[in-house]
């Protein structure tokens, strides 16, 4: 278990996406500072990432069911959080809420980046 590994949770990894395409550059920057970067994402599109970055899609781009994505999320989370020094959650409060029990059990910190003009109850809980 290396202390130089990062787990990122985000909505989409696709450099061609109009709203979230910039995040691919963030992942590239994170990869310069960590030995390994694992990314759990709802959907994966086109992305050219360094060899130390591994993107794990929950399959939304293939129209997988919500229940399938739910179980796949926790399977990936349990397997990846153990070898990560922490979790970086990007723009999705529900992922913070969903991953908190696992992070708590394994004593991993969650850093949450969120930028929006409204503050919802879900955001307050996260």
Q: What is the mean pLDDT of residues 77-91?
A: 94
**C-beta neighbour count of 87 within 10 angstroms:** 26
Asked if residues 82 and 103 have their Cβ atoms less than 8 Å apart, the reply is no
Predicted TM-score (pTM) of the model is 0.86
Element (H, E) at 100: helix 93-105
Torsion of CA 77, 67, 20, 116, to 10 degrees: -90
Q: Which domains does the chain have, with CATH numbers?
A: 5-125 (3.40.50.11930)
Say whether pLDDT at 92 is over 90: no
Q: What is the mean pLDDT of residues 93-110?
A: 92
């Amino acid at each position: 278990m290396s202390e130089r590994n990062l787990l990122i949770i985000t909505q989409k990894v696709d450099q061609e996406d109009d709203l979230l395409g910039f995040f691919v550059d963030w992942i590239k920057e994170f990869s310069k500072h960590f030995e390994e970067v694992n990314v759990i994402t709802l959907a994966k599109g086109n992305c050219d990432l360094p060899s130390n970055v591994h993107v794990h899609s929950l399959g939304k781009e293939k129209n997988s069911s919500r229940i399938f994505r739910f179980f796949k999320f926790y399977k990936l989370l349990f397997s990846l959080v153990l070898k990560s020094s922490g979790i970086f959650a990007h723009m999705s409060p529900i992922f913070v809420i969903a991953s908190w029990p696992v992070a708590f059990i394994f004593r991993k910190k969650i850093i949450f980046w969120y930028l929006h003009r409204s503050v919802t109850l879900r955001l307050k809980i996260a």
